[in-house]
């Protein structure tokens, strides 16, 4: 038997429970995977708490990103062999020992990329890659990232730097060195942010990505940049909709375009290759067991440093 973390009602972390399930067999177009690590993302707890709509009726399985090894390949699937190390995103229940995933959402994990690193990439790297591409970031840009030390912020810094852009990222004093190490210029968030940004970039910024969702961050963004098409948030989409700014998820009523969805899928193999080549760094945090899924989500909500993972 396999194990998975599920919940039958929305609520606090205590609604999560580990249950035994039949080991999933891959259907047509799917790959079955023995999970070695599952990424813990903010959306996991938002779905569990009822902060975001859930599909159908429960029970619901938790988690979507992970990594492991292929155990079986479904009909119509090419490019995978049993035993292949892989990473995946968009799974129905990655908090598990075994999962079946749409093969289009699975990528072979190159040598040297650990399961924890692979599990850390799905949502953060996909969101960051798509956002940077959607904003059209180029080498002549100065990109301001609100929340540069989070998982999405760190990924966005690295993608933008690889494109040749200058990056300024808001962060706490305690996390400034991490942001700087990734190639961005750290600026302390909080009151007076606009002035501090202009101190380091007197000519202003040309694009802004909000990965923080803090109070006043969108208003400050409009003080720094007039072009609403180059200001986006991934966190407070409903507010961005009201202000006429761009939003990539985060509760926005505007869905991702097919191109944006394609960029999010493309990000996983791109990121895996960059990690393997030493051009992309994943900050890993604490590891938890499946039985500690509630503790992991609590730690995520409290802003634990580094990417948290579950190890079955």
Q: What is the mean pLDDT of residues 282-305?
A: 97
Nearest to 67 by CA among 90, 96, 35: 35
Same domain, 64 and 33: yes
Residue at a domain's end among 247, 268, 302:
247
Range of weakest confidence among 50-59, 88-97, 183-192, 214-223: 50-59
Same domain, 232 and 182: yes
Flag whether 22 is in a domain: yes
Q: Which residues contact 134 (CB under 8 A, 6 or more apart)?
A: 232, 246, 248, 260, 263
Indicate if the pLDDT at residue 57 is higher than 90: no
Rg (CA), the chain: 19
Same domain, 77 and 130: no
For residue 162, give its domain range: 124-247
Question: What pLDDT shows up at residue 150?
Answer: 96
Flag whether 265 is in a domain: no
Indicate if the pLDDT at residue 83 is higher than 90: yes
Q: Give the rounded percent of residues in the chain with a pLDDT score beyond 90.
A: 96
Indicate if the pLDDT at residue 58 is higher than 90: no
CA distances in angstroms from 82 to 5, 33, 71, listed in the order given: 25, 9, 5
Over residues 155-208, the pLDDT tens digits come to 999 999 999 999 999 999 999 999 999 999 999 998 899 999 999 999 999 999
Q: What is the CATH classification number for the domain harbouring 114?
A: 3.90.180.10
Question: What pLDDT shows up at residue 50?
Answer: 93
Q: What is the mean pLDDT of residues 76-84?
A: 98
Question: What pLDDT shows up at residue 77?
Answer: 98
Flag whether 41 is in a domain: yes
Q: What is the mean pLDDT of residues 257-262?
A: 98
> Predicted confidence band at 220 (pLDDT cuts at 50, 70, 90)?
very high
| Distance of alpha carbon 224 from alpha carbon 139, whole angstroms | 19
> Predicted confidence band at 21 (pLDDT cuts at 50, 70, 90)?
very high
Same domain, 204 and 113: no
Same domain, 133 and 183: yes
Q: What is the CATH classification number for the domain harbouring 140?
A: 3.40.50.720
Question: What pLDDT shows up at residue 29?
Answer: 98
Question: What pLDDT shows up at residue 39?
Answer: 98
Q: Which residues contact 62 (CB under 8 A, 6 or more apart)?
A: 5, 6, 7, 16, 44, 47, 48, 93, 94, 95, 293
Residue 187 pairs in a beta bridge with 170
pTM attached to this predicted model: 0.96
Same domain, 22 and 130: no
CA distances in angstroms from 260 to 96, 252, 265, 266, 287, listed in the order given: 28, 14, 9, 10, 31
Flag whether 287 is in a domain: yes
Flag whether 264 is in a domain: no
CA distances in angstroms from 210 to 52, 206, 215, listed in the order given: 19, 14, 11
Domain count, the chain: 2
Same domain, 198 and 110: no
User: Over the chain, what is the mean pLDDT?
Assistant: 97
Flag whether 217 is in a domain: yes
């Amino acid at each position: 038997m396999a194990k998975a973390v599920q919940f039958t009602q929305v609520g606090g972390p205590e609604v999560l429970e580990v249950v035994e399930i039949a080991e999933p067999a891959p259907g047509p177009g799917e790959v079955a995977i023995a999970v070695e690590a599952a990424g813990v993302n903010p959306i996991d707890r938002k779905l569990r708490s009822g902060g975001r709509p859930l599909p159908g009726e429960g029970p619901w399985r938790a988690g979507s990103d992970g990594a492991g090894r292929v155990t079986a390949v479904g009909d119509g699937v090419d490019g995978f062999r049993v035993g292949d190390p892989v990473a995946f995103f968009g799974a129905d229940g990655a908090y598990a020992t075994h999962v079946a995933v749409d093969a289009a959402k699975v990528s072979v994990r190159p040598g040297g990329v650990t399961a924890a690193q692979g599990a850390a990439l799905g949502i953060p790297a996909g969101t960051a890659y798509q956002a940077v591409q959607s904003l059209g970031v180029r080498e002549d840009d100065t990109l301001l990232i609100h929340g540069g030390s989070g998982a999405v912020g760190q990924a966005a810094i690295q993608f933008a730097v690889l494109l040749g852009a200058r990056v300024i990222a808001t962060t706490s004093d305690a996390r400034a060195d991490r942001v700087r190490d990734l190639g961005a210029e750290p600026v302390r968030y909080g009151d007076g942010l606009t002035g501090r940004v202009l101190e380091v970039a007197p000519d202003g910024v040309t694009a802004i990505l909000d990965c923080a969702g803090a109070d006043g961050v969108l208003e400050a963004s409009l003080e720094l940049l007039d072009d609403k098409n180059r200001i986006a948030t991934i966190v407070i989409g409903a507010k961005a909709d009201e202000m006429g700014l761009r939003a990539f998820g985060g509760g926005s009523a505007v869905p991702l375009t097919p191109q944006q969805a394609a960029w999010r899928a493309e990000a996983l193999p791109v990121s895996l290759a960059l990690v393997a080549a030493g051009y992309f760094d994943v900050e890993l945090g604490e590891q938890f067991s499946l039985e500690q899924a509630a503790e992991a989500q609590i730690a995520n909500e409290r802003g634990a440093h580094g990417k948290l993972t579950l190890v079955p």
